[in-house]
Structure 1
Amino acid sequence: MYKPSLILFLFIAAATVATTGSIELYGNEIFFRIGEAEGLPVVVIGDGPGISGSYLEDILPGRKTVLYDSAGSGKSSDVGSLDLSLEYYISELSAIVHELELERFHLMGHGFGSLIAVYYALARPAELSSLVLVNPILSIPQLDLLIEEYTLQNDTVPDKLKLLFLNYRGDIESKLKTTVEDINRDIYDQFWGDGPGVTGELRGLDISSGLSDLRMPVLICTGLYNFPGVDKVIDYQKLSPKSEFVTFINSAHFPMLEESEGFNMIIGDFLRRVEAEQESSPEHDLSGRAVDILSGIVSLGEKDNGVDMDLEIGRDFTISLPSSPGTGYSWRLEEFDGSVLRLLSEPFYEEPGTTGGGYQVFQFRVIGPGETDISLSYCSCWNDEPIGTYRVGISVPLLEREVLSIDESDNGKSFSVDLAIPLEVSLNVTTGTGMSWRITSTTSSILRQTKENEYLIPENTPSVGGTIQQRYYFEGINYGTAYIEFSYGRPWEETPPERTFGATITVAEPVHDIYIARDSDNDRHIALKLDQMLILKLKNGSSSDETWYLREELPEQLKLLSDPFIEYFEEVRYSVFYFRTVERGEGVLELSYGSSASPDQSIDTYRITLKIE
């Protein structure tokens, strides 16, 4: 995808120390500049496209800033193998972050750069400490209407470049001189169009609704004299539940130049507050390895990338990785050994937060001994090149296992085995007849044949009329019941078999003492054993006055073990209930959501039907 170039220069000017370098992305050389300082870096995406980021070089002095010229602007080339597109610019930012090994940073976007910043924040939220949007443009249809209104009110067709970019107050021409001279108008018009409205590749694009999915702190700021106006930009703030809003009263499109002192002070204060809050009150972090002591399920997360771990046969585990499908990016399973692991279901999306920003979940079961890597890549639907990768290594020891051996005397019988226990089926064959056994029926999702069948020939067995054994080898790879059937005859004859053999094999699932029910189990029927624990975890809303509570008396089959309590995950409140099954039979467990002080005015209900055996 891309390859790094050596860092080339060290600049020392006044109080600024910066290093520069470049990466190669799809044939384009992309130049970046790093302002050296302590603390979390701030990655800044300039306006554009086709506009150099040189006007941002003095932004946030004293902070570690990362600036770069997008393809076809400034020092960066546009000779690559891919056509420029919005998706390309997202990949470009991802490549810079990957090359500089930025695990955690602040992200700032200006103008068009805010569009790229929001896309990235939705796709990779775990990397961002905060998001700063300066004069953001997130809804192109809305902007198109405002340009049309501007045209009618002023009876003139505006130059979009002057209206949206070259709009400033004060004497900052000298600071914009290099940027203005280097504007690549062809690229700018490719995206914005050369007519009065937005007729280029950005036409119809609207990502403003994605603001409600952002969980990191967000600062939205605008200049009082910027087009399309404060009243339009503040609408974005209303969509983002964790955002702040600032208006720079002496600025238009370039508050970092028009009011540089105030801009640096306000942005710097926001970043410091975010860092102080995150340092003193770290988020509940379930992105690393965890073992549910009650259920025995291993949960792996983003922080487990690159780890190697030992697991035993029969162990279930999940991999949960931050994902935002609305951006077009998702995790793709690239590799694992199907003889060691089994994917239990299709990957699914889980949204633990009340404001979005969820996880893509992969569920596995260990089914056999050996070693395997699980490899995943984070790709878009338009480009197979990943912007992120994930790998865990799984090692499963080969333990001594007692073999279940059956023969023709077991015809018609049923057997129960554990997962991965070897099963040998030995069937008699008469020598010199040309007859042999063959499999006529099996359940491949439950049992697999571990190797080719073979013949066991005792010493001094006569070549005609003697008895030898034909042996088949199986093992259970999934819980459930399988039926295996064999027929005995000559392979080349289409006549009924001389005899058959069949057996029922149940691969028994271990009985867990704990069953955990969640929001997704609403309206389900659940089978439990007597004296089994039931844990119920239900997500609450943002109001602290509302919670889940028992709506009716408990069914006689259940006993409440303790008072319900609140548990937090990713800043989301969960109501947790512990029960134990005490009687056989069928009963209904029903809960309501709302204020317990007004039980007759519930907002939602939850109901599961329990069958206790």
Structure 2
Amino acid sequence: MTEGYIQVTGGRVFYKKIGDGSGVPLLILHGGPGSTHHTYKPLELLGEERPVIFYDQLGSGGSDRPDDLSLWTLDRFIDELSEIRQALGLEQVHLLGHSWGTMLAASYMLTKPKGVKSVIFSSPCLSALQWAEDQKANLKTLPVETQEVIMRCEKEGTTDSKEYREAVKAFNNQFVCRKEEIPKEWKAPKGAFNPVIYETMWGTSEFNPTGSLKEYDVTPRLSELHLPVLFTCGYYDEATPKTTKGYADLVEEAQFHVFKESAHMPYMEEPEEYRQVIRQFLKSVETDGIR
């Protein structure tokens, strides 16, 4: 394992590289925005075949935390990804983005970077409006009392209240992570998440994007992706199978997989199957040259 820091626009970011296999390196783009690499620990075992690189995006986790709201833009995070590839000499690379990381991956790919062998969109959010609509539909499956608390607190701006947190926890137990017990080493340490980035770019909650990404929609340009692409999601995912399949249908010959026992974090909920699906996809790209 190698750890260190990379200077990017705005500060230093923490990175960790696991494995030294002969396969093309895999770079993980974590969710959020404002989250960290910690919950992706189950993916370290992919390092048996190839280097797997994790990093905390600027402002979160072990990276610097500059107090400058102008840094929290999609374009800067795209530049950060380019700077990381250059610093680590990743002339060839596979990208795996999860949740917000799929927004970053898609937007980065539309800059036409060289050397990207494939992209994996894990539980994708590629249209903010569609995401909000899907969460409204998911919310309607919960008890009426839970729905009413969430809607009332959203309307009144009391999303920092205890009752709101409890209602969101009920939602998360259904659509974010259905695993009752998470190993301690898979959890992000306290304070690793940066709510300022999340609120600046997305908003105060999953249900109502109000930040700079509120009109994000890359779906009209997904057909421009001409490389091997895999879309995955959980059966109970916030990133619903219907929506994720719809994204996959916009990319020529893209592959699509649903993890039947998972919600939004199949890499933690079904880690063995998740690794196997990713492993097989990467191997097929490198050995068979599939699309």
With structure 2 as the length reference, what TM-score do the two structures score? 0.82
Separation in 1, partners of 2:254, 2:34: 29
1:169 paired to 2:157? no
Cα pair 1:57 1:67 within 8 Å, conserved: no
Q: 1:251 to 1:26 in 2, by over 3 A?
A: same
* Cα 1:222–1:152 shift into 2, 3 Å: closer
Query: Could you give the per-residue CA deviations for residues 73-112 of structure 1, whole angstroms, max 9, x where no partner exists?
Result: 1011122775211111111111100111111111110000
Q: Within the alignment, does 1:105 sit opposite 2:88 as a pair?
A: no
Deviation at 1:185, TM superposition (A): 1.6
Q: Which has the higher helix share?
A: 2
Equivalent-residue separation in structure 2 for 1:264 and 1:150 (angstroms): 27
- For 2:52, the equivalent position in structure 1 comes to 65
SS of match in other structure, 1:106: strand
CA RMSD of superposed structures (Å): 2.5
* Larger mean Cα displacement after TM superposition, 80-89 or 258-267: 80-89
Q: Offset at 1:240? A: 0.7
Asked if 1 retains the 8 angstrom alpha-carbon contact of 2:32 and 2:99, the reply is yes
Inter-partner Cα distance in structure 2 for 1:65 and 1:34? 6
Structure 1 residue 175 displacement after superposition:
4.3
Matched residue type, 1:277: D
Q: What is the match of residue 253 of structure 1?
A: 264
- Displacement after TM superposition at 1:213 (Å): 0.7
1:145 shift after superposition? 2.2
1:33, distance to aligned residue in structure 2 (A): 0.8
Q: For residue 26 of structure 1, report the CA deviation from its aligned partner.
A: 2.8
Q: 2:25 aligns to what?
A: 41
Q: What amino acid does structure 1 have at the position aligned with 2:237? A: N
Map 1:557-596; keep pairs closer than 5 Å.
none
Q: Secondary structure at 1:20's aligned position in 2?
A: strand
The answer to which structure, 1 or 2, has the higher relative contact order (CA under 8 A, 6+ apart) is: 2
Separation of aligned partners in 1, 2:123 and 2:101: 10
Shift of 1:36: 2.5
Question: What whole-Å deviation, never above 9, does each CA across 1:158-213 have from its counterpart, x for those lacking one?
Answer: 77986579821222252443256522122212222126411111101101222211
Work out the CA distance in 2 between the residues paired with 1:125 and 1:242: 20
Shift in Å, 1:214: 0.5
From 241, 247, 254, the counterpart of 1:243? 254
Corresponding residue for 1:52? 36
Structure-to-structure mapping, 1:468-547, within 5 angstroms: none
Which residue in 2 is equivalent to 1:308?
Answer: none
Cα distance change, pair 107–241 in 1 and its aligned pair in 2 (3 A): same
Shift in alpha-carbon separation, 1:256–1:149, aligned structure 2, 3 A = closer
Q: TM-score, normalised by structure 1?
A: 0.40
1:35 corresponds to which letter in structure 2? I
Provide the C-alpha distance between the structure 2 equivalents of 1:140 and 1:101, rounded to a whole number of angstroms: 33
User: Are residues 80 and 261 of structure 1, via their aligned partners in 2, closer, same or farther at CA, if it must alter by over 3 Å?
Assistant: same
Q: Secondary structure at the match of 2:187?
A: helix
Change (3 A) 1:270 1:180: farther
Corresponding residue of 2:159? none
In 2: Cα distance, 1:80 partner to 1:262 partner: 40
**What 5-or-longer segments of structure 2 have no aligned partner?**
152-163
Contact 1:55–1:179 under 8 Å retained in 2: no
- Partner amino acid, structure 1, of 2:66: V
Name the counterpart of 1:226.
Answer: 237
Q: Which sections of structure 1, spanning at least 5 residues, go unmatched?
A: 1-17, 282-570, 572-613
Question: For 1:233-283, what per-residue CA distance to the aligned partner results, in whole angstroms no more than 9, with x for missing partners?
Answer: 1111111112100011111111111111111111101101100123xx9xx
* Separation in structure 2 between the aligned mates of residue 33 and residue 181 of structure 1, nearest angstrom: 19
Which of structures 1 and 2 has the bigger CA Rg? 1
Rounded to whole Å, the distance in 2 between the matches of 1:119 and 1:217 is 16
C-alpha distance in structure 2 between counterparts of 1:91 and 1:244, whole Å: 28
Among candidates 196, 202, 213, match of residue 186 of structure 1: 196
Q: Residue 269 of structure 1 corresponds to which residue in structure 2?
A: 280
Structure 2 residue 62 is the aligned partner of structure 1 residue 79: no
Decide whether the 8 Å contact of 2:123 with 2:232 is kept in 1: yes
The one-letter amino acid paired with 2:184 is S
Q: Is the 8 A contact 1:51 1:179 kept in 2?
A: no
CA contact (8 A) 1:54 1:178 kept: yes
Name the SS of the counterpart of 2:117 in structure 1: strand
Alignment size in residue pairs: 263
For residues 189 and 247 of structure 2, what CA distance do their matches in structure 1 show? 28
Relative to 1, partners in 2 of residues 1:173 and 1:227: Cα closer, same or farther, differing over 3 Å? farther
- Tell me which amino acid in the other structure corresponds to 1:191: M
